Amino acid sequence: MKKVYPLIIALITFSVLGILYIQLSWIKNARIVKSEEYLRDLEKTVLGVRSLCYNSFINAEGYNPEQLDEANKEYLLITKFTAQAISPEEMNMIIVRAMKNQGIKQPFEYCVTNLYNNPISASKGFESSMFAESVDIRLSPPMSPQTETFFLYVKEPQNYITRQMASMIIASIFFTIIIISAFALTIRTMLRQKNISEIKSDFINNMTHELKTPLATISLAVDALNNEKVIHDPEKIRYYGGMIKEENRRMHKQVETILQAAKLEKQEDLNLSVQSLDAHAAIDKVAKNLSLQIQEKSGELHLNLMAGKSFVDVDEMHFSNIIFNLLDNAIKYSKDAPVIHITTQVVNGMLSIKIKDNGIGMSRETASRAFEKFYRAHTGNLHNVKGFGLGLSYVKNMVEAMNGHIKLESALGKGTTFTILMPLSKHNND
């Protein structure tokens, strides 16, 4: 399965890049086609100008172009036609009409030259440099002794062709963005599913390990109770019975931890019994309960409960569990002898509880994910660290459920500091 994800990502990436290449090629080719179409429209325009000039000249001679037969029309044009007979205003109207017929609305300049390339009629803005960029056509009839050439210069603005294709380009960019977004979302979803799958596997492995040990102990204790030598020894029966009870309590706690995590998924299922509680007393009580564990590891726990106001509105059980989890983590993730400091003070109208340890610390990545459910950091050689990865997730959810905030600061090899901010109770003012 691990090889499938990279293959799928590579195939999708290749497909998206292929689509982008095709899109860019299509836009490039479409622009070329549009440019060629534009040049054809200009050629049709000058053909239209010549035709309209002929009709204008015939009208000026007193004939109707539609009623005059082709032979007489051709004779008249060959013998008498010249662009000089058409006024600049009339020529301007002819060009506008011819351009309009081809859908061209850009500003223009024009010039008509004779056999010697000397201008005989031109717009005011036409310059000699425009000849090279103009579209030209012989204005005189083929058999005419005169040779007059019409030059049309259209002032094409920068990116005119691109602007003509604006709707297609915008649509192409829009759908390309959708494709890329869908691709990114797909990759993100795949990686997230992969991560969830790994977390699920880790959770199952951790849960199996956590439940296997007490079950094995209970099994051994039950076998011992069936031993003939133990049946008649009340002291050993109490010993093994106490062992079974302790391991059963341990399994019950683990199951409750998992069930509690499930309840935290839905805030409405939390039945918090919020009341005014002396945080200092609750912290001191939890510290005493864990003092034996700290002593077994030759550690130290320093309480610096200096806050002038210590009453907070919290659920007593969950608040104690929060402190217990953070202290338990500080003990579990210590190098050798844990040194833990708990400090309290009032900050911006809230009670700040700071728990600092000298443990193995966390990397930046681990610290950013520490509060994620089921996430467990790699602990190197600390194989004795057990759990489901639910402790800090529970802590964060419960702190926020009681309108508090929590943050952590950590560095590898330098320990970790958790800071909890809880709202002060009105009881402090009594």
SS (H, E, C) the chain: CCCHHHHHHHHHHHHHHHHHHHHHHHHHHHHHHHHHHHHHHHHHHHHHHHHHHHHHHHHHCCCCCCCCCHHHHHHHHHHHCCHHHCCHHHHHHHHHHHHHHCCCCCCEEEEEECCCCCEEEECCCCCHHHHHHCEEEECCCCCCCCCCEEEEEECCCCCHHHHHCHHHHHHHHHHHHHHHHHHHHHHHHHHHHHHHHHHHHHHHHHHHHHHHHHHHHHHHHHHHHCCHHHHCCHHHHHHHHHHHHHHHHHHHHHHHHHHHHHHCCCHHHCCCCEEEEEHHHHHHHHHHHHHHHHHHCCCEEEEEECCCCCEEEEEHHHHHHHHHHHHHHHHHCCCCCCEEEEEEEEECCEEEEEEECCCCCCCHHHHHHCCCCCCCCCCCCCCCCCCCCCHHHHHHHHHHHCCCEEEEEECCCCCEEEEEEEEECHHHHC
Closest CA to 77 of 160, 7, 145: 145
- Tens digit of pLDDT at every position of the chain (430 positions): 556 777 777 887 888 888 888 888 888 888 888 888 888 999 999 999 999 999 999 998 888 888 888 888 888 899 899 888 899 999 999 999 999 998 888 899 999 999 888 999 999 999 999 999 899 999 999 888 888 999 999 987 556 676 677 787 788 888 888 888 888 888 888 888 777 777 677 667 666 766 776 787 788 778 888 887 777 788 888 888 888 877 777 677 667 666 666 666 555 556 677 889 999 999 998 888 788 778 878 888 999 998 888 899 888 888 888 888 888 888 888 877 888 999 999 988 899 999 998 888 888 887 777 777 666 655 444 434 455 456 788 788 888 888 899 998 888 888 899 999 998 988 766 5
Q: Which amino acid is at 279?
A: A
Cβ count near 194 (within 10 Å):
14
Residue 138's beta-bridge partner residues? 149
Domain boundaries 166-263, corresponding CATH code: 1.10.287.130
CATH 1.10.287.130-classified regions of the chain: 166-263
Written as six digits, the tokens of 353 are 């509880």
Closest CA to 96 of 49, 148, 59, 150: 49
Find the radius of gyration of the CA atoms of the chain.
Answer: 45
C-alpha 151/C-alpha 122 separation (Å) is 9
Closest CA to 373 of 299, 300, 265: 265
In the block, tokens 């506008």 appear at 96
C-alpha 153/C-alpha 148 separation (Å) is 16
C-alpha 391/C-alpha 256 separation (Å) is 12
Can you give the pLDDT at residue 382?
Answer: 42
CATH 3.30.565.10-classified regions of the chain: 271-429
pTM: 0.48
Q: Which amino acid is at 232?
A: H
Can you give the pLDDT at residue 130?
Answer: 92
User: Which CATH topology does 271-429 take?
Assistant: Heat Shock Protein 90 (3.30.565)
Residue 301 and residue 342 in contact, taking contact as beta carbons nearer than 8 Å: yes
Can you give the pLDDT at residue 370?
Answer: 79
Written as six digits, the tokens of 352 are 């700040």
Can you give the pLDDT at residue 384?
Answer: 47
C-alpha 11/C-alpha 18 separation (Å) is 10
**What does the buried/exposed string (b/e) look like for 10-43 if buried means 16 or more CB atoms within 10 Å of the residue's CB?**
eeeeeebeeeeeebeeebeeebeebeeebeebbe
Residue 83 and residue 121 in contact, taking contact as beta carbons nearer than 8 Å: yes
